[in-house]
């Protein structure tokens, strides 16, 4: 009979998904049976099971294990019994600490049945070797499973365990997702509100006012899924970050995106964001919730990052107006004493640094009239002379694309040449330092300037290479433009929806006489989505 002084015998079971796939250790039920029979045969009283089903041995953040250790630290456990030593864990550092410090400190007797381990009889040095092999096994198993997942990801299969908000798993094929009749309309409303010009914080307030439950609360009520941000006391508390995340998910246009995250070590279950270049995208893999036109408009709104000014107002053209000379976005100017016809747009670079550009000032009301007139002119032309319109638009669009490509290619060539020159200057400066023709201070002054220039040029080269690649793939999408034209029969005023659907950008040139307030001319170019400047 084993004396326990009123303490319990902890019978610990663990089975990970990796072990199950590898055919290791048997089921939880099998472990329970072995532990029960052993405890009864050897007269261990007050047995109590602690179970972790589906938890990796390399992590010790497991509910069953944590509950057992709480009893240990409370002084309520005399013996811990496991089926085999690897059930306790596969992280040799943590297991070594438990065996050599934690368990002895609390007077715990530890038994691993199949491995013949019983600390009451002493532990030989071979246990440390066994811990090392257990960790290697976990590492090798993790590699094999990652390889299987990577292969599935490269084939375009969904590797996520949960369907994105707005979708649910197809009951006939759990690897596919289909629109969720409850949440898909919420996603569509979020995109619609954003396309109209509203930002994530405003959309979150609207959903809260309409008492739409949040994704985490919906998941809890539907599947019992708990999330770190779950707050059942505030079921309608949508956050700005949640809205922003939904607006950026390509799954809503029918695209599967794999490898967004990765785990840096097999011992860590904390995921880190993967570089976008490492993402794997596969189009048309499932039914879209959002059409391509709405998606493109929303991404343009998000890229513009339209923010209210200090007085809480923003113009419907904000984020679309740019300077013809420096390319910077225009700044929306107003003050409390101004009437609406005094509001203006001014070059953003000039607004911050007067010496770097000129004002390119234009009245907001005048710009509204110009944009409205251009939309009316172009849509009427597209309806009445469709074939001729498309031909002219195509010729102009392709010509502009070639012009843009040539300018960016030239800038890229100059930037790469300068980077090569900087490398030569670095080497030259180092040689001069070595020959003692330069002092350490002089060398530092020279190389600091080179380094600063290199730090500025390197990301610019990357941006140019991506832009050139994108431009080369860009094609005129006349059908998509005509589909937008067909939605509006009689446009009489500008609205956020109309602006975002039709307008790509607005380029403002300097006045014929920059500082003159009357009797001047000024060119404004309006570029349309899908067809460019018409």
- pLDDT tens for the chain, 534 residues: list them: 455 577 999 999 998 866 555 444 468 888 999 999 999 999 998 999 999 988 888 888 889 999 999 999 999 999 999 999 989 988 888 888 899 899 999 999 999 998 889 999 887 777 777 777 777 776 776 677 677 777 877 887 887 778 899 999 888 888 889 999 999 999 999 998 888 777 888 899 999 999 999 999 898 888 777 777 778 888 899 999 999 999 988 899 998 888 877 676 656 667 777 777 778 888 888 999 998 878 887 887 776 555 554 544 567 888 889 999 998 889 888 876 778 888 999 998 998 888 889 999 999 999 999 999 999 998 988 888 888 877 776 666 566 666 777 787 888 888 888 888 888 887 888 788 778 787 878 878 877 887 888 888 887 787 777 666 655 444 446 667 787 888 887 888 888 778 888 888 999 999 988 777 788 899 999 988 877 787
231 CB neighbour count, 10 Å cutoff: 11
Domains along the chain? 8-151 (3.40.50.1390), 183-298 (3.90.1750), 311-411+461-534 (no CATH)
Tokens 């610990």 identify what position?
12
Pairing state between β 503-508 and 524-528: antiparallel
In 10 A of CB 141, how many CB atoms?
22
Please give the helix or strand (H or E) that residue 79 lies within, else none. strand 77-82
Length of the chain: 534
Which SS3 state, helix, strand or coil, does residue 117 take? strand
Question: Which residues lie below 8 Å from residue 50, measured CB to CB, with a gap of 6+?
Answer: 10, 11, 12, 13, 64, 65, 67, 68
Question: What is the pTM assigned to this prediction?
Answer: 0.53
Beta bridge partners of 77: 8
d(CA 366, CA 362): 7
Separation CA 2–CA 525 (nearest Å): 90
Beta-carbon count within 10 A of 44 CB: 22
Within 435-511, where are the H helices? 440-473, 478-487, 496-502
User: 117-132 burial, b if ≥16 CB within 10 A, otherwise e?
Assistant: bebeeeeeeebeebbe
d(CA 211, CA 201): 15
Cβ neighbours, 10 Å, residue 257 = 18
What SS3 state is found at 194? helix
Residue 443 makes CB contacts below 8 A (sequence gap 6+) with: 429, 430, 432, 433
Tokens encoding 39? 């405890």
Alpha-carbon distance of 515 to 497, in angstroms, equals 34
DSSP β-ladder status, 503-508 and 362-363: unpaired
């Amino acid at each position: 009979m084993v004396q326990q002084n009123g303490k319990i015998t902890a019978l610990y079971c663990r089975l990970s998904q990796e072990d199950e796939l590898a055919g290791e250790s048997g089921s939880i039920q099998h472990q329970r049976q072995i532990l029960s029979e052993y405890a009864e045969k050897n007269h261990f009283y007050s047995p109590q099971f602690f179970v972790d089903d589906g938890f990796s041995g390399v992590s010790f953040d497991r509910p069953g294990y944590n509950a057992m250790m709480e009893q240990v630290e409370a002084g309520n456990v005399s013996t811990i019994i496991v089926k085999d030593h690897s059930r306790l864990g596969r992280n040799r550092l943590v297991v070594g600490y438990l065996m050599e410090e934690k368990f002895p400190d609390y007077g715990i007797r530890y038994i691993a049945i199949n491995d013949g381990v019983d600390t009451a009889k002493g532990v030989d040095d071979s246990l440390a070797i066994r811990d090392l092999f257990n960790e290697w096994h976990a590492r090798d198993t993790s590699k094999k499973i990652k390889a299987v997942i990577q292969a599935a990801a490269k084939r375009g299969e969904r590797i996520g365990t949960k369907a994105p908000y707005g979708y649910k798993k197809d009951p006939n094929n759990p690897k596919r997702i289909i629109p969720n009749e409850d949440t898909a309309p919420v996603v569509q409303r979020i995109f619609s509100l954003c396309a109209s010009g509203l930002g994530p914080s405003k959309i979150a307030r609207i959903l809260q006012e309409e008492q739409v439950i949040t994704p985490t609360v919906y998941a809890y009520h539907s599947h019992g899924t708990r999330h770190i941000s779950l707050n059942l006391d505030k079921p309608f508390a949508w956050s700005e970050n949640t809205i922003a995340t939904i607006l950026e998910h390509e799954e809503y246009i029918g695209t599967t995106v794999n490898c967004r995250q990765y785990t840096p070590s097999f011992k860590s279950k904390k995921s880190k964001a993967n570089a976008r270049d490492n993402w794997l995208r596969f189009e048309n893999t499932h039914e879209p919730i959002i059409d391509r036109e709405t998606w493109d408009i929303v991404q343009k709104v998000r890229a513009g990052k339209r923010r209210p000014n200090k007085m809480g107002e923003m113009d419907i053209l904000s984020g679309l107006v740019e300077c013809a000379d420096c390319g910077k976005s225009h700044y929306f100017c107003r003050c409390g004493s101004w009437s609406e016809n005094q509001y203006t747009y001014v070059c953003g670079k000039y607004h911050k640094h007067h010496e770097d550009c000129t004002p390119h000032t234009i009245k907001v009301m005048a710009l509204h009239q110009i944009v409205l007139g251009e939309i009316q002119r172009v849509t009427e032309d597209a309806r009445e002379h469709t074939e001729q319109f498309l031909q002219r638009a195509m010729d102009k669009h392709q010509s502009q694309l070639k012009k843009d490509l040539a300018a960016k290619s030239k800038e890229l060539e100059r930037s790469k040449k300068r980077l090569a020159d900087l490398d030569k200057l670095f080497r030259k400066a180092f040689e001069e330092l070595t020959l003692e023709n330069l002092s350490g201070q002089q060398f530092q002054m020279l190389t600091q300037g080179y380094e600063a220039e290199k730090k500025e040029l390197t990301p610019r080269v990357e941006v140019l290479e991506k832009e050139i690649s994108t431009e080369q793939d860009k094609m005129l999408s006349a059908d998509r433009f005509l589909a937008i034209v067909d939605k509006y029969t009689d446009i009489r005023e500008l609205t956020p929806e109309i602006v975002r659907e039709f307008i790509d950008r607005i380029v403002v040139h300097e006045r014929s006489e920059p500082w003159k307030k009357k009797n001047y001319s000024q060119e404004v170019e309006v570029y349309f989505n899908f067809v460019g400047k018409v």
